[in-house]
Structures are given as structure tokens and as C-alpha cells.
């Protein structure tokens, strides 16, 4: 199976479905026109994909193939049943991404890169791929190291990578989910209403609800909170120092890590 086409197919299908859902069932009115924001966000997506393919390539999937070929990693020593190894791989990778996300808010150098994601003045599915290319490359190296250490199966790694991209779209979607559904879904996964607090202009709220797929890690890490202080409709999104939409074009976003800004706590 071609790794790139598999991930692209999942991405495009979910992008189309969530795009339609956002249009007909929006959670909040948008402050900034989609044409202005989506141009920058889609531009970052293209640059991120090119940066990976032209430098590291599909390094996370390649790490899994290398570990399988060379017999590297913990699972090749233990030889546990495939189902157990698959479950551990998914849990370890998701926990690792949670810890990485926390680090991007606490480590000044990483926060400079991650600020790009948090400058979006609205949060919708396009925010799910609003990341600086350097942050994307560092994340890929981090995940590749974990995959090598585990000796994770390539197919499971591919499934997790596709799920991670899919959930990045879903958790940022401006989608109205019935409160009862949302309440039950949160016992297992992160939902848009859960994650929206993380994009609050209020830093204590930004430093919460870091999860990507499973809500378990926020609960264990005591970073889980139900909702923004001002509610889902009242919360102001973005960063306090970056509220001018005219300053958030693609070129400025690429340079943003090298400018002064709020430091993490």
C-alpha cells in the first residue's frame, strides 16, 4: 500500500465531509472571512507537505519499515501477540503526542513555532493543518524515534498517522455536536467543544485540553476542563498579541517564530 495515497485519501474524504458539516451545522459564527484565513492555512499545508517530502520524506512510516527489516525495537525482543503490540503502539504514540503538545506550550523555543497554530482568529477544520513547517519536521523526527524504539508494525503506524491527521481536522471543526453526544464522546475521544477552550485568548485556558485523539491523557495529566469560562459562544480565540487579521497572512506566519511574542508559563 502506498503510504502517501492512503493518508491523502483519508484526509480528502474527511475534509469534504467536515467542510459540508461545518457549512450546515456551524457551532459559532466566524469573525474572519474564510477566504482570508483558508488561504494562509492551505498555504501552510502545502509548504508542510513539501517540506516533509523534500527533506525527511515519510520518515515515521520509513522508521517502522526499517525497524521491521532490521529487527530493531522492543517488540522484536518480546515477540508479543500482534493485537497487544498494536494496542500498545497506538496508546504510546497518542500519549507521546499529548506530551509533545504540552512541551510546545512550556518550552520557549517550541512555543515560538507553535504560536503559528494559535494565531488563528477562528477555529475550524482548516486550523487543523495550520502549523509551521519546522514544527512539523521536528514532530516527525520525534515520532520516528518512538517508532524505532518500539519496533512498531508499519501498518499500525500508518493507521495512527492517518487517524492523527483525521482527528486534527475533527477536533478543530466548527461543528455543532448535540450536547448529549458531546458529553458521551468525551469519555473516550477529544471533541471540538472540548478542544476549543485550548484556543482561548486566556492563557490559563490555552494551557489545557491538549489531547489529540484520546481524552484519557488530559484526564490523567489533570489538564482536562469542561468548557471555556465564557462558554463556547463567548470565548475569544487566538493570541492576545496577534488579533490583527491583516498581520496573519502566509508570509507573516512563516516569520512569526522569529518575532517577539508571549512566552509560555
> How confident is the model at residue 261, as a pLDDT?
62
Mean confidence (pLDDT) of the chain: 94
pLDDT at 3 over 90: no
pLDDT digits (tens, 9 = 90+) for 187-222: 999 999 999 999 999 999 999 999 999 999 999 999
Query: How far apart are the C-alpha atoms of 163 and 172, rounded to whole Å?
Result: 14
> How confident is the model at residue 19, as a pLDDT?
96
Label residues 50-81 b or e (16+ Cβ within 10 Å = b).
ebbeeeeebbbbbbbebbbeeebbbbeeeeee
Is the separation of the CB atoms in 117 and 198 below 8 Å? no
Report the percent of the chain where pLDDT is more than 90. 87
pLDDT at 262 over 90: no
pLDDT at 264 over 70: no
pLDDT digits (tens, 9 = 90+) for 74-131: 999 998 999 999 999 999 999 999 999 999 999 999 999 999 999 999 999 999 999 9
Is the separation of the CB atoms in 198 and 209 below 8 Å? yes
Higher local confidence (pLDDT), 215 or 9:
215
| pTM: predicted TM-score of the whole model, two decimal places | 0.94
pLDDT digits (tens, 9 = 90+) for 144-183: 999 999 999 999 999 999 999 999 999 999 999 999 999 9
pLDDT at 1 over 60: no
pLDDT at 260 over 70: no
Is the separation of the CB atoms in 225 and 190 below 8 Å? no
Amino acid at each position: 500500500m502506498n503510504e502517501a495515497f492512503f493518508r491523502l485519501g483519508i484526509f480528502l474524504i474527511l475534509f469534504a465531509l467536515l467542510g459540508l458539516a461545518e457549512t450546515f451545522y456551524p457551532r459559532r459564527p466566524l469573525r474572519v472571512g474564510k477566504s482570508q484565513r483558508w488561504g494562509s492555512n492551505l498555504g501552510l499545508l502545502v509548504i508542510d507537505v513539501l517540506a516533509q517530502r523534500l527533506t525527511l520524506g515519510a520518515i515515521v512510516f520509513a522508521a517502522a519499515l526499517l525497524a521491521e527489516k532490521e529487527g530493531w525495537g522492543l517488540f522484536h525482543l518480546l515477540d508479543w501477540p500482534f493485537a497487544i503490540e498494536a494496542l500498545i503502539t497506538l496508546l504510546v504514540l497518542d500519549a507521546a503526542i499529548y506530551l509533545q503538545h504540552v512541551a510546545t506550550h512550556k518550552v520557549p523555543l517550541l512555543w515560538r513555532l507553535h504560536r503559528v497554530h494559535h494565531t488563528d482568529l477562528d477555529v475550524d477544520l482548516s486550523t487543523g493543518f495550520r502549523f509551521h513547517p519546522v514544527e512539523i519536521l521536528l514532530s516527525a523526527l520525534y515520532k520516528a524515534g518512538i517508532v524505532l524504539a518500539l519496533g512498531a508494525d508499519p501498518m499500525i503506524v500508518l493507521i495512527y498517522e492517518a487517524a492523527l491527521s483525521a482527528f486534527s481536522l475533527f477536533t478543530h471543526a466548527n461543528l455543532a455536536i448535540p450536547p448529549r453526544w458531546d458529553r458521551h464522546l468525551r469519555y473516550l475521544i477529544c471533541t471540538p467543544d472540548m478542544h476549543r477552550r485550548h484556543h482561548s485568548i486566556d492563557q490559563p485556558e490555552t494551557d489545557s485540553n491538549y489531547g489529540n485523539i484520546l481524552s484519557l491523557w488530559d484526564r490523567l495529566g489533570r489538564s482536562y476542563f469542561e468548557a471555556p469560562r465564557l462558554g463556547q459562544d463567548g470565548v475569544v480565540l487566538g493570541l492576545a498579541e496577534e488579533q490583527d487579521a491583516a498581520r496573519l497572512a502566509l508570509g507573516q506566519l512563516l516569520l512569526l517564530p522569529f518575532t517577539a511574542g508571549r512566552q509560555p508559563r
